Amino acid sequence: MEGEQDGGHRFRDPGVRLWHFAKEILVRCPRCDGRALVAVRPDHRDGHRYAVGWLTAPHRLTCPACGHVAEWTPQPWRTGEGDAYFSSRGVFAVPALGGPDDPYFGLPLWLRRPCRGQVLWAYNVAHLEFMEAYVAATLRERPRPAGSQSLLERLPAWMKSAGNRDEVLAAIRALRDAA
C-alpha cells in the first residue's frame, strides 16, 4: 500500500483510505497502559467481501503485557447515528474511523503524540510509515481523478505544510521508535 517514491522526494498518492490501515489498531491497554492490539476476532477474519464487513465484525482487544482481553460486538444502527451497513446479520452502525482514539473501544491509540498544537496519530506502524513517506516527499502527486476520500487528501493542513515537515517527521520518527 505504499505510494510510489523516488529517493524520498516524490510521492504519488495511491488513493488508499484510512480503513486500509484499520485491520490492526495499536491502543493503550485500559488495565496496564501497555501496548495492546484491537483486531477482528480470529473466528471472523475470513469471508468479508468488502471492508465494511470486517469493520463491523466482532473485534477483540488483547494485551500481551497483562493478558487483558475484551470483546466488542457490532452495534445496531439507529437513524441519524452515522453510516449503516446492511448485512444478512442485520443493520449495523459502521464504526467512525479517525481521531486519536480507536473506533471500537474508545481507547487512546498507542501511536499518538502532540505535534504543532495538534495530535499526530496512527493506527499501526504501516499507517505511520505511509504518512512518513508522504510528509517527507517534496513532490506530491495526486491520482486522476483526484478524490477527497483518500487518506492523504484528508490529512490536516498542518501535516501537509512544507514549513512543518521537519517537526512532523520528528514526531513520526519518535512514534515509530515507541512502536
pLDDT in tens, 136-172: 999 988 776 656 678 988 899 999 999 999 999 999 9
Task: Compute the CA torsion angle 5, 51, 104, 120 (nearest 10 deg).
Answer: 20
CA distance 59 to 83: 18
Q: For the chain, first and last CA: distance in Å?
A: 19
Which of 25, 20, 16 has its CA nearest to residue 147? 16
Query: Three-state DSSP class for 52?
Result: helix
Which of 99, 101, 30 has its CA nearest to residue 61? 30
The residue ranges of the chain whose pLDDT is under 50 are 1-2, 5-7
Question: Any residues with CB less than 8 A from the CB of 140 and at least 6 apart, and which?
Answer: 10, 11, 13, 134, 152
What's this model's pTM, rounded to 2 decimal places?
0.89
| Angstrom distances, CA of residue 131 to CA of 41, 99, 121, 152 | 27, 15, 10, 8
What's the pLDDT at 19?
A: 92
CA distance 42 to 65: 20
